[in-house]
Chain A
Amino acid sequence: MSRTNAFRALTLLVVAALSPRAWGQTAAEIVARADDVRNPNAAFRFLSTLTEYVSGKPQAQNVLAIFSKKDPRTGQFRNLVRYVEPPRDAGKAVLLDGRAFWFYDPASKASVRISPQQRLIGQAAVGDILTVTMSIDYTATLLSTESVQDANKKPRTSWHLDLKAANELSSYARIEYWVEQGSFQPVKAKFYSDSGRLLKILFYRSFETWLGGLRPTETVILDAVDSSRVTTVKASEHRLQEIPEAWFQREYLPRLEAQ
């Protein structure tokens, strides 16, 4: 073991010895602080541009308008998603509210209820991924402290957390989560299915100040099932917005505008 590694081991030994209250934080507190970094507490609206890459080449682009508001009962974000681009999807809308998921297609004028699994099929699932309040939907355990490379290949000393679904509403059975020490910025996450299959790997990058905090504006989603596929999600046009409770009724979906 080299001198550098020995020093590193000693440092990590001390840090890990403080677990589960690493740096005076419990695992749950770390995840909650990272939640606060990822999203503001107030209701807000933003545009999300999804670029899908296949074998490294951009194949498709979707633009979604996402309206997010916390449910005062659960603390979890509810999302309304309206497709803006491409033209073939424009006007489609999705309601993601706790366990109630509805998909509206303007071509057929029909609202169809979709299952939690089904909502993960479409691009609207990104709304859930971006705004999921992990501290509520998951029970966290601190695994270790380690240096992990972020999306820009920069090493970040991070807490490595293991998140298990805390309730039936959780989209994923398990998440591995890396949160940078000190800044509480999310660095990376791995999402697993009920069967233990690794589905997605997320990297958070392009931290900028919006709606009162330094937050990620871009998320890179690596498809773990099909390794040729990658999706980047660029968030923009954030603004605080009053979102009436009535908007979370399925009958409102046809009237949802992107603005």
Chain B
Amino acid sequence: MSLQRIWAAVPIALAALAEPAHAQGEGDDELSRIPSEAPPAPPAAPSGRSRLGKTVYVESATEAELLRSSFDVPPPSPTPTTIEQRLFVDAVLHWIPIRDLTFHLSARAGLRAGEDIAFPTHENIRVDFRELYASWKVFEGAYLDAGRINLKSGVAIGFNPTDFFKTRAVVEPLSVDPSVLREDRLGTLMLRGQFVWKHGSVSAAFAPRVASPPPLYTSAALPALDPMFGRTNAHHRFLLKANVDLIEDFSPEALFYQEDGAVRLGFNIAQSLGKKVVAYAEWAGGSQSGLSQEALAFGTLTKSFSTAVADNLATSSATHFQQDASVGLSYANESKMTFWLEYHLHQAGFSRGDWRFWFDQGTGPSGELLSPLLWFERGYAQEQQAPMSKHSLFLRADWADAFIFNLELTAFANVDLYDGSTLAQVTASYAVTNLWTVALLSAANVGSRRSEFGSLPGAFSALFTIRYYF
């Protein structure tokens, strides 16, 4: 051992001597925080061949809405209810009766009452069968699913151009938060095959047409027990999608979608940029007409109004290649906050000129006649789960354990880039215990009378929910 090494070791040894005095105080403080009792043993995991997994909760939701008193383009009656009370049971069950076979059920059933809902009628009862399907593992990595399935695609947060099965599927959402809209939607009757392997996956799904498309639904005219296949299976639809690890950590997804012969292509990708940022992009394109023309064609098809009436607003019904895109970034910090910024392109949506036309027609000499059609276009766009305008911006922030443990704050804003009008929503959700959760949500449509969100009937709304898990 050289003298130099011994000398070099002296400070380490002295530091080690000094350390106990320093570490003792700090260490004592740390040690005093350690719980003395071991946590209780975890619940015994289900075992055996037959297994049942369930998530069941009951929720009370009370909503109050403040409506605008004057409009440039008055919405047709009935206007949205201002106070509504809902009480429902939500259940998601997975049953594995034998190895490699699983049955899935997802449903919501409950009661509702509101100012514009007659009592007692069938309108007070709502049952939605979101999913009911069987899943069979043919061999490792290969699966066949059949039944009503909620097939979701896409990597964006606010708008998913490649989520082709989203249209018309959302039923009575408690919130316009895109993440909630995805929860309150019906699955589509389909047969799906999927193969997942080491370097990627490929899925093919076929959804047959089993019903005619029904007219637009309103909150006050929802069927009580109808599975509403007209919403989800009004067309023959086929989806093929695949993702492959092209290089390490680069696995874009490509999609081919066909609906009654019309083809749409899509792709999406999400990548980490450093430790705190994720960048993502989602694109879909195909031949289609503009939003207004699509809505009017749908209205005449479903006999919501006559062709003659629709002709008052009809412009060109020609189809051409239209693109949808969602491009965004997320950023997370060390304080458990995550922020998203997303740009949305919906080429079939309203341009600045379309909006001017919409308001001019609604306030013109034929405004009273055309108003129902104009609002029909808005309702149609809402059911399509696509932005109304060509260009919009989506911002979102989540803060977990905000101020106190188990309190989550969420805020988002949807901004029309033409007129600056905004849909803004703030939610505070608190998990009181492992079984009880309460949440308070408030939303506002802000903007001038001649703007996308400023022209909507609802100005401000508040929602209070209490949820109990069984």
Contact = CB atoms under 8 A, between A and B. Distances in A.
Interface in A16-51: 16-19, 47, 49, 51
Interface string B402-430: 00011000000000000000000000000
Range for the number of chain B residues in contact with chain A: 35 or more
A100 B200 CA distance: 13
A145 B150 CA distance: 58
B272 A115 contact: yes
Contacts of B225: none
Contacts of A193: 334
B180 to A, nearest CB: 8
Given A63-B43, A87-B434, A201-B30, A12 B179 contact: no
A218 B38 CA distance: 9
A110 interface: yes
A87 B12 contact: no
Given A111-B155, A118-B338, 8 more contacts: A9-B14, A54-B405, A87-B434, A90-B55, A144-B15, A148-B23, A193-B334, A251-B243
A77 interface: no
Interface in A84-109: 84-88, 90-91, 98-101, 106-109
Interface in B119-134: none
A112 B17 contact: no
B272 A99 contact: yes
B55 A244 contact: no
Interface of A: 5, 8-9, 12-13, 15-19, 47, 49, 51-54, 56, 58-61, 63, 65, 84-88, 90-91, 98-101, 106-118, 121-122, 143-149, 151, 153, 160, 168, 193-195, 197, 199, 201, 203, 206, 218, 220, 222, 227, 229-230, 232, 234, 236-237, 244-246, 249-252, 255, 257-259
A121 B34 contact: no
Contacts of A85: 42-43, 434
A222 B200 CA distance: 39
Nearest to B156: A112
Interface string B25-60: 001001101110011011101110001010111000
B182 interface: yes
B45 A237 contact: yes
Contacts of B405: 52, 54, 59-60, 229
Nearest to B338: A118
Interface stretch (B227-235, B274-282, B285-293, B356-364): B274-282
Nearest to A142: B12
B68 interface: no
A54 B198 CA distance: 42
Nearest to A151: B34
A245 B179 CA distance: 30
A117 B35 CA distance: 27
B326 interface: no
9 contacts: A12-B17, A17-B13, A65-B45, A88-B55, A98-B249, A115-B272, A116-B276, A117-B276, A118-B332
A222 B33 contact: yes
A206 B274 CA distance: 36
Contacts of A227: 33
A87 B150 contact: no
